[in-house]
Chains A and B, each alone.
Chain A
């Protein structure tokens, strides 16, 4: 059974800093991995989807990488802003399965 872990659980950085959020998964037979953002009291917003055949995806200041062999994915946020403050979740989809398995998230606070 796929298990997804996110470390750290919480992170506080000053505005403007570049930062990396980590996600690890136990089963390397991963079909794709998706990063989400969740604001308090809201649903999850899809940020980036990386297929198993890809190594990274970029959207604006966000860059996500996927390394199946090591069971790791990272989300890089460049020039962080207070508006980036939210909980970031990663979720992996195993090959042969349709549902995503979620990590517990990293709560990010960007201080102005």
Chain B
């Protein structure tokens, strides 16, 4: 079974540009999470979905960030406009309802110049 799949793996963009990160969770998992990892702050939860419905978006930094999950097999995290302080590794993770074990993708490394 393929794990959580994220794209792109690396993104370099200029300040003010729109960035879209994509995630395909593990089939059958009910929960999808977006985390951000930086050296200074470690891993921070941005938002999570249950059965495609956003449950907790209190970690989304500001209105420039938005996330959607149009169906059970796809989610996007969008930053518009991007800023240099958004540079980080963005991880998508999914978990089944039963055990709650969390499985991570390889991450999308974002650099905003």
Contacts and interface: CB of A to CB of B under 8 A. Distances in A.
Majority secondary structure, B binding face: strand
B48 A99 contact: yes
Contact of B100 (A32, A43, A44, A104): A32
B50 A44 contact: no
Contacts of B70: none
A92 B45 CA distance: 13
Interface in B89-113: 91, 93, 99-107, 109
Interface in A21-49: 31-32, 34, 36, 41-46, 49
Contacts of A104: 42
Contact of A99 (B45, B91, B106): B45
Interface residues of A, number: 22
Nearest to B43: A102
Contacts, number: 47
B42 A91 contact: no
Q: How big is chain B's contact interface, by range? A: 20 to 34
Given A42-B106, A98-B55, A49 B99 contact: yes
Contacts of B4: 43
B14 interface: no
A93 B42 contact: no
A98 to B, nearest CB: 6
Contacts of B101: 34, 46, 49
Contact of A98 (B100, B105, B109): B100
Interface string B46-84: 001010000110000000000000000000000000000
Given A43-B107, A99-B45, 7 more contacts: A31-B100, A32-B100, A34-B101, A43-B105, A89-B43, A98-B48, A102-B42
Interface of A: 31-32, 34, 36, 41-46, 49, 89, 91, 93, 98-105
